[in-house]
Structure 1
Amino acid sequence: MKTTDLVATAAANTFRSKTRTILTVLAIFVGAFTLTLTNGLGTGINRFIDDTVSSIGSSDVLTVTKATGGASASTEPQRYDPESITSGNTDPGRPGATTEVSALTDADISAIAQLPGVERVVPTKAVKIDFVQVDGGERYVAGAGSLIGGQTPQLAAGSAPEDTAALQAAIPQALVAPLGFASADDAIGATLTIAVSDPVRTQHLVEAEITGVTEGAFASTTSLTTTPALEDALFTAQNTGVPRDQLDRYANASAFVSSSADPAQIDEVKTALTDAGYAGRTVSDQLGTFTAVIDAIVLVLNAFAVIALLAASFGIVNTLLMSVQERTREIGLMKAMGMGSGRVFSLFSLEAVFLGLLGSLIGAVVAMAVGTAVSAQLGQTLFSDLPGLQLIAFDPVSIAVTTVAIMAIAFLAGSLPAARAARADPVESLRYE
């Protein structure tokens, strides 16, 4: 019997007992459905995290602070530190949290730039905006955070500020309607007035062009995305009258490493920073715990799916053992006509593989349909505040790997009855009643 004939025969034999086959396929379907759905959940959430990381900071940029002070996250009373500085932007692209950190000076910036693996250092200039408004309209509170290299903010309309020498900004979607715009597209090209106060509470107004509207995710929903030129203009206005030698006080700095640096090289830079008395973290470090929790949850859910598949494997064993018993005379006839034991083994093994293929394909298709519908519904209701989140997303490679794994489990489950059929004595099989 040719290989093609063997495959065709195995496919036809799979449906000899339709009821038994359907029940076995349904058992495999449960495991395949669960595996596909939980993997899709992990893919969707991790993809959202990756998109968010790229929008709030680049993987080759470290946020550097003084290791001696660090962010004051404790609720306990803190000792006064004359070298501390209030930071409204401790994470690149994520302004909002007001914390006390030990100030970096120009000397620190130079020292960090000399460390091995660091290509350049850009100090983060803390800017506190009083309010923003358009055409003399209502005033609203907002934060500010400039773009850094590799940052790709998620946009609802327009584009990110690109001309580093121009006074440009992207406003968050949450401010579109309050500032008087009919839609996100309507805001593009408008002039935004930004007010900051100097140390003697004199207000200064700086105007900037709105180039885009950003979506809210993990970043603050009321933070402007500014160009370095606009950040400098706001910083200069805010520090009007401050002696020049008092301006070199920064909450943190962005240390750039090579864009081709691998995780090991980035770890070496972190070690060098620690040895020099500083602390460096990437955005991935800050979200790493969250990602680990998601992966752990998906792993536990996958474990339940594997248990379901193991239960289904016993169904495959039972189905094929009954098939072998019912076809004892047929097996004897095949072997009497010259079919070798290897071919008989392959025939029954292929039947098991077909059962696994049917169950996994049906499970994957149904899981994709259900997952897509559920994800769309949740995106419009429960997770409407997280634009861009597709809770359940499907990766073709992951689905293919899941299908092959289930077929492999089916093959292993079918090996026992297949081996029993291969060992059958043709004479005894032909006498079987």
Structure 2
Amino acid sequence: MRTIDLLRTAVRNTFRSKLRTTLTVLALFIGAFTLTLTTAVGAGVTDYVTRQVASLGADDVLIVTRAAADTTTDGPAPYDPRTSSASTGTDAPGLPGSGQSDPLTDGDLQELAATSGIISVDPVQAVAVDYVQGDTETRLEFTINPTSSITRADLVAGEQLDEAATTPQLMLPSDYVEPLGFEDAAAAIGVTVRLGITDVLGEQHTLDATIAGVSQESLLASGGGANASLIDGLARLQAAGIDTGPARYSLAVAYFDTALSDDGISRLQADLADAGFGAQTIQDQLGVIRTVIDGIVGVLNAFAVVALVAAAFGIVNTLLMSVQERTREIGLMKAMGMRSGRIFSLFSIEAAFIGFLGSAIGALAAVVVGSVLSGALAAGPLAALPGLDILLFDPASILAIILLIMVIAFVSGTLPASRAARKNPIESLRYE
């Protein structure tokens, strides 16, 4: 029997007992449907988080803070004048470093810059903006992301902030477009808005800034963005010209050599830790989140695996019964010269075809149902997270699921196929 004839015969034999085959396919359908949906959830959430974390900065930066002091006793830490925010006179409300027990100083920045592997260090200044106002009288509460210097916004319209520009530039979150009176995001680009800020003496000031771009809301980086010129201007207004002592920063951005390997970056982080600093790359932040996502998706996938295991036993049962019913037919095929290997292949192909039917139909149904569900969630409960496709179907993943289930079905069919191949033709022909 030629291979093509073997395939045709296997497909025809699959539908000899339609009810039994349908029930087996249904069990595989449930496993494929569940596995496709859970894989899509993992892919959708991972893609969204990856884009969100990528917006926090580039791959060649470390977010550096002063490492928390180790304490060996429970309860509040004892007073230390070297780390107290009040000891340097910077406890005025609204100033950078306010409320932080151990911020970075200019001396720390110099130490960081002198560390081997670090190219440059930029301090991050925090400013407390009161409001943003457009051409109308409407004033809206507003915050500025302190890490704007390394932010790559998920743009709706406009351009990224120009850190080298001498004019103040603002990155406006998309949910501010309509309340500020703009028709759409494109209409806001290039428009000058007014920011209000209160200084340490309680007097309010205003500063104008040009909207360079409009960004999607971010899960990990809240608030608007500001370039260096705008941050510096707001910081001067906030300080009101008062000498508050040595500069203090909540964190700093350290740029390292892109030629460093993963081991080199790990050694650099270890060196900074020995010096009393905490340093994280963007990939570090992404890794923690991915671990949580992978754990959740893994638990969901376990339910699909249970369904597939049950379906595997169903395939074994279906083909064993088929072998029993076709004993005389097997004997006749052997008597006519069909080899045991061909008979084994015939029943194994039947098992693989059943696996294909269940997995393909289940995956297709999951794509249809998932697409409708994803659209409904994006317009409803997940509307506050623009850009999130909770179910992201990757063709390669779907194909891998179909192949995986076909392999499981093929392996499940080897026992009945082996039994059929070992049957004695004389005894099979006598079987009643």
Scaled by the length of structure 1, the TM-score of the pair is: 0.88
Alignment match, 2:111:
111
Contact 1:66 1:101 in 2 (8 A): no
Q: Secondary structure at the match of 1:313?
A: helix
Shift in alpha-carbon separation, 1:49–1:260, aligned structure 2, 3 A: farther
In 2: Cα distance, 1:403 partner to 1:13 partner: 21
In the TM superposition, residue 147 of structure 1 has moved relative to its aligned partner by: 3.2
The answer to whether residue 149 in structure 2 is matched with residue 157 in structure 1 is no
Give the Cα separation in 1 of the matches to 2:95 and 2:328: 79
Q: How many residues align?
A: 421
Q: Is the 8 A contact 1:85 1:102 kept in 2?
A: no
1:135 deviates by 3.0
Contact 1:161 1:226 in 2 (8 A): yes
- 2:142 equivalent in structure 1: 142
CA contact (8 A) 2:192 2:208 kept: yes
2: CA distance, partners of 1:98 / 1:308: 56
Give the match for residue 381 of structure 2. 382
Aligned to 1:54: 54
- CA distance in 2 between partners of 1:191 and 1:392 (Å): 39
- More displaced stretch, 282-291 vs 293-302: 282-291
Match of 1:93 in 2: none
CA deviations on 1:41-80 (whole Å, 9 max, x unpaired) are 111111111111112333432211111469xxx9979954
Does the 8 A contact of 1:84 with 1:100 survive in 2? no
Give the match for residue 128 of structure 2.
Answer: 128
2:179 counterpart residue number: 178
Question: In 2, Cα distance between the equivalents of 1:293 and 1:49?
Answer: 11
Alignment of 1:272-351 (within 5 A): 272-286=271-285, 288-351=287-350
After superposition, the C-alpha distances for 1:100-156 in whole angstroms (9 at most, x for unaligned) are: 24222222112112223323211101222232212362222212235344x432233
In structure 1, the residue matched to 2:33 is 33
For 2:259 and 2:332, the matched residues in 1 are separated by 65
Q: CA deviation at 1:425?
A: 1.0
Check 1:172–1:119 CA distance in 2 against 1; reply closer, same or farther (3 A cut): same
> Cα RMSD over matched residues?
2.8
In the alignment, is the contact (CA less than 8 A) between 1:125 and 1:250 conserved in 2? yes
Instruction: Quote how far apart the aligned CAs of 1:219 are.
Output: 4.1
Amino acid at match of 1:411: F
- Contact 2:104–2:251 (CA under 8 A) maintained in structure 1: yes
1:296-321 Cα distance to aligned partner (Å, 9 max, x none): 22111111111111111111111111
Aligned partners of 2:95, 2:241: CA distance in 1, in Å? 23
Higher mean displacement: 362-371 or 280-289: 280-289
The residue aligned with 1:188 is 189
Q: Structure 2 CA distance, aligned partners of 1:191 and 1:262?
A: 44
Q: Cα 1:77–1:132, aligned 2, differ >3 Å: closer, same or farther?
A: farther
Whole-angstrom CA distance in 2 between matches of 1:425 and 1:314: 26
Structure 2 residues not aligned, in runs of 5+: none
Moved more, 81-90 or 400-409: 81-90
Taking structure 1 as reference, are residues 77 and 193 closer, same or farther at Cα in structure 2, changes over 3 Å only?
farther
CA contact (8 A) 2:88 2:246 kept: no
Does the C-alpha gap of structure 1 residues 98 and 364 become closer, same or farther in structure 2, counting only changes over 3 Å? Answer: farther
- What is the alpha-carbon distance in structure 1 between the residues aligned to residue 366 and residue 48 of structure 2? 20
Distance 1:20 1:119, change over 3 A: same
Offset at residue 329 of structure 1 (A):
1.8
User: Scaled by the length of structure 2, what TM-score is found?
Assistant: 0.89
Q: Aligned partners of 1:136, 1:265: CA distance in 2, in Å? A: 53
Check whether the contact 1:332–1:424 (CA below 8 A) recurs between aligned residues.
Answer: yes
Give 3-state SS (helix, strand or coil) of 2:218's partner: coil
Q: Secondary structure at the match of 2:121?
A: strand
Deviation at 1:290, TM superposition (A): 4.1
Encode CA deviations 1:139-192: one digit per residue, 9 max, x unaligned. Answer: 22212235344x432233333223631421111123223322233222122101
Mark the CA change 1:225 to 1:270 in structure 2 (over 3 Å): closer, same or farther. same
Amino acid across the alignment from 2:49: I
Would you say the 8 A contact 1:85–1:103 is kept in 2? Answer: no
Q: Offset at 1:99?
A: 5.3
SS at match of 1:213: strand
Contact 2:50–2:286, Cα closer than 8 Å, also in 1: no
- Alignment of 1:232 onto 2:226: no
1:88–1:135 CA distance, 2 compared to 1 (3 A): same
Which residue does the alignment assign to 1:94?
A: none
- Match of residue 269 from structure 1: 268
* Mean CA deviation greater in 413-422 or 376-385: 376-385
Cα distance change on mapping 1:325 and 1:261 into 2, 3 Å? farther
Q: In terms of mean alpha carbon deviation, does 32-41 or 329-338 score higher?
A: 329-338
Matches of 1:85 and 1:63, distance apart in 2: 23
- Counterpart Cα distance in 2 of 1:427 and 1:98: 93
Distance in structure 2 (CA, Å) of the matches to 1:177 and 1:47 = 28
CA contact (8 A) 2:90 2:98 kept: no
Change (3 A) 1:78 1:392: farther
SS of residue matched to 1:143:
coil
Q: Which amino acid aligns with 2:148?
A: L
Q: Aligned partners of 1:84 and 1:396: how far apart in 2?
A: 60
Q: After the TM superposition, which of the residue ranges 196-205 and 400-409 deviates more from structure 2?
A: 196-205
**Alignment check: 8 A CA contact 2:130 2:141 kept:** yes
Where in structure 1 are there 5+ consecutive unaligned residues? 91-96
Q: Does the 8 Å CA contact 2:136/2:180 hold for their aligned counterparts?
A: no
